[in-house]
């Protein structure tokens, strides 16, 4: 099934234009929606999940008109929000069972099988009788996936999943997401570039409420080949460099500044060519360096 988002805009009552004419066609598989904080990702995720209405635009998922037929959306949706309410005193097993009832799995035997298989799948079987309040961040996120998978969703939305997870938990969470399967649409909304590069065949970069770039991360990165340069600079020179060159990013490296530049030809004799990475694509896109055409 395909998710078709057409010309979706949203301005909040306080005047913030969170989404500006967003159009995206998303096919089965893992899709990464990448953007900095405040880009509009959560607004878009809530809109796709039929939790809030846009001012303009349409969203279709297969035959479902998402903005009109909210009940139909709920039946096919698995949603893992940034933060979801957990009852700290309830055990993982009991809460999952309760959620399965809420989602309409009323047959006791079927529900038992479902809950047990989800607990195994998310590696929470051993802690199923522990209270949710005692769970680590990674365990909570895996529980979030377990609850999102109840009822065989066809559309799974995961909002900022790995923020706050340690590297081991993140790795486990990535593995779990990658097992969900190719026959459902999974949208992973994140500001963490590695989440997308690790998992997604397809991605969009969103910034200031607008889609800035869409495509296969591998292809997009390939288009930058030969155009990314690295040089070591003094901290005091950064401002000058930024005013004369397309600085993609800069970071401290052994006390000195390592600067990555975007340029069709060698920007300075001290610079050396480097292989482009998704992070270069991301920063160049949100800084409008003209990766996909002319600089604006
Ligand atoms: P992201 O998920 O990418 O961080 P959000 O969708 O949460 O972005 O926010 C996009 C913009 O809309 C931000 O400027 C944010 O402050 C604003 N915003 C989000 N929710 C609301 C709201 N309920 N009322 C007013 N402004 C909001």
Each residue's pLDDT tens digit in the chain (296 positions)?
Answer: 999 999 999 999 999 999 999 999 999 999 999 999 999 999 999 999 999 999 999 999 999 999 999 999 988 999 988 776 778 899 999 999 998 998 888 899 999 999 999 999 888 999 999 999 999 888 888 898 899 999 889 999 998 877 778 888 888 888 888 888 788 999 999 999 988 988 999 999 999 999 999 999 999 999 999 999 999 988 888 888 899 999 999 998 888 899 999 999 999 899 999 999 999 999 999 988 877 654 44
Q: Check residue 102 and give its pLDDT.
A: 85
Give 73-84 pLDDT, tens digit per residue.
Answer: 988 999 988 776
**Length of the chain (residues):** 296
Give me the sheet containing 17-26, strands edge to edge.
17-26, 3-11, 56-61, 64-65
Q: Check residue 231 and give its pLDDT.
A: 94
Architecture of 3-215 per CATH?
Answer: 3-Layer(aba) Sandwich (3.40)
43 lines ligand 1 (CB under 6 A): yes
Which H, E and C letters describe the chain, residue by residue? CCEEEEEEEEECCCCCEEEEEEEEEECCEEEEEECCCCCCHHHHHHHHCCCCCCCEEEEEECCEECCCCHHHHHHHEEEECCCCCCCCCCEHHHHHHHHHHHCCCCCHHHHHHHHHHHHHHCCCHHHCCCEHHHCCHHHHHHHHHHHHCCCCCCEEEEECCCCCCCHHHHHHHHHHHHCCCCCCEEEEEECCHHHHHHHCCEEEEEECCEEEEEECHHHHHHCCCCCEEEEEECHHHHHHHHHHCCEEEEEEECCEEEEEEECCCCCCCCCEECCCCHHHHHHHHHCCCCCCCCCC
Q: Check residue 294 and give its pLDDT.
A: 46
Mutation pick for ligand 1 pocket among 14, 22, 36, 40 (CB with most ligand atoms within 8 Å): 40
pTM of the shown model = 0.89
Mutation pick for ligand 1 pocket among 15, 16, 189, 210 (CB with most ligand atoms within 8 Å): 16
35 lines ligand 1 (CB under 6 A): yes
Pick the atom of ligand 1 nearest to 19's CA. Answer: 10
What number of other Cβ atoms are within 10 A of residue 194's Cβ? 14
> In angstroms, rounded to a whole number, what is the distance separating the alpha carbons of residues 247 and 220?
18
Distance 149 CA to ligand 1 centre (A): 26
Q: Check residue 295 and give its pLDDT.
A: 47
Residue spans of the domains in the chain: they are 3-215, 221-286
Q: Check residue 292 and give its pLDDT.
A: 63
Distance 59 CA to ligand 1 centre (A): 20
Pick the atom of ligand 1 nearest to 209's CA. Answer: 10
> In angstroms, rounded to a whole number, what is the distance separating the alpha carbons of residues 120 and 199?
22
Give 23-77 pLDDT, tens digit per residue.
Answer: 999 999 999 999 999 999 999 999 999 999 999 999 999 999 999 999 999 889 9
18 lines ligand 1 (CB under 6 A): yes
Nearest CA to ligand 1 atom 10: 40
Distance 56 CA to ligand 1 centre (A): 17
């Amino acid at each position: 099934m395909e998710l078709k988002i057409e010309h979706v805009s949203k301005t909040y009552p306080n005047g913030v234009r969170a989404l500006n004419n967003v159009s995206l066609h998303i096919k089965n598989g893992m899709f990464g929606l990448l953007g900095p904080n405040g880009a509009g990702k959560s607004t878009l995720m809530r809109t796709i999940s039929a939790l809030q209405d846009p001012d303009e635009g349409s969203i279709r998922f297969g035959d479902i008109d998402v903005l009109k037929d909210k009940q139909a959306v709920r039946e096919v949706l698995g949603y893992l929000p940034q933060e979801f309410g957990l009852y700290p005193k309830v055990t993982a097993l009991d809460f999952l069972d309760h959620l399965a009832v809420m989602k309409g799995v009323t047959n006791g035997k079927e529900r038992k099988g479902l809950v047990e298989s989800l607990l195994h799948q998310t590696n929470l079987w051993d802690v199923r009788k522990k209270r949710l309040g005692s769970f680590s961040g990674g365990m909570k996120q895996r529980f979030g996936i377990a609850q999102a998978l109840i009822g065989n969703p066809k559309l799974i939305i995961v909002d900022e999943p790995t923020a706050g997870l340690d590297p081991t938990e993140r790795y486990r969470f990535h593995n779990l997401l990658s097992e969900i399967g190719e026959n459902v649409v999974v949208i992973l909304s994140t500001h963490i570039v590695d989440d997308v590069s690790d998992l997604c065949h397809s991605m969009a970069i969103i910034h200031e409420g607008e889609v800035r770039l869409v495509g296969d991360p591998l292809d997009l990165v390939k288009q930058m080949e030969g155009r990314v340069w690295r040089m070591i600079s003094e901290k005091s020179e950064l401002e000058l460099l930024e005013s004369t060159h397309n600085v993609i990013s800069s970071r401290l490296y052994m006390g000195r500044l390592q600067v990555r530049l975007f340029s069709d030809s060698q920007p300075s004799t001290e610079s050396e060519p480097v292989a482009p990475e998704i992070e270069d694509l991301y920063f160049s896109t949100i800084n409008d360096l003209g990766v996909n055409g002319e600089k604006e």
